[in-house]
Amino acid sequence: MTAPSPTARDRILKASAYLFYLEGIRSISVDAIAERAEVTKKTLYYHFISKDDLVAAYLSQRDQPNLAAFAGWLGAEDKSLPERIETVFTRLAETASHPKWRGCGFLRTIAELANQPGHPARKIGATHKKKVETWLEGIFRANGIAAAPSLAQQIAVLIDGAFAAMLTHSDPGYARTAGIAARTLVAAALAEKA
């Protein structure tokens, strides 16, 4: 049995994800997306009311896969929690070593739309970042860390700082350095509960 052909909407989303991540939101036209998706502009606008709507859909489709990647990077519980948190950063560094890596799609989109605070994609990006923080907080609570909300914020800041530094310097080593700091913070939080 063969897999069904992707729908026009799927092709548009795939094309926009590729082009927006590679080149940025503002530099890619709707014409370029339609051409890559092999659809007409009319078809694109049938599925997405505007480019802003398409940008929001692009980020929305990144949400669950990115959260799943973080959960996968955390790994099995055969290591200590500080080691597992550091592994998230190690895996982030490995991902950033890929030649097609262009940074965090959420942060890049938020930065590109900095002058449009009400843009739906900015809200989606902020919601995603809050989900990562909430996920971390749940892990820390499950491990009996009383200051779980504060620690989750600290680790979230290290993650986003690592993204920014790696993009700025083209050096995945910044994620490894942030991982050492994260491991130290988590170990200290665990020591406080003992």
pLDDT digits (tens, 9 = 90+) for 170-180: 999 999 999 99
Domains 1-48 and 62-193 share a fold: no
Residue-wise pLDDT for 134-169, tens only, equals 999 999 999 999 999 999 999 999 999 999 999 999
Q: Which residue ranges in the chain fall short of pLDDT 50?
A: none
Q: Are 89 and 155 in contact (CB under 8 A)?
A: no
Query: What is the spatial distance between Cα 11 and Cα 23, in angstroms, rounded to a whole number?
Result: 18
Q: What is the pTM of this model?
A: 0.91
* Phi-psi map region of 24: left, alpha, beta (phi>0 left; psi -120 to 50 alpha): left
Q: Are 89 and 175 in contact (CB under 8 A)?
A: yes
Phi and psi angles of residue 145, each rounded to the nearest 5 degrees, phi first: -85, 115
Q: What pLDDT was estimated at residue 78?
A: 84
CA dihedral in degrees (81, 184, 161, 23; nearest 10)? -40
Q: What pLDDT was estimated at residue 192?
A: 87
Q: What is the CATH number of domain 62-193?
A: 1.10.357.10
Look at the block and give the residue holding tokens 């504060």: 150
* Domain coordinates in residue numbering, the chain: 1-48, 62-193
CA dihedral in degrees (75, 76, 77, 82; nearest 10)? -20
CATH architecture observed for domain 1-48: Orthogonal Bundle (1.10)
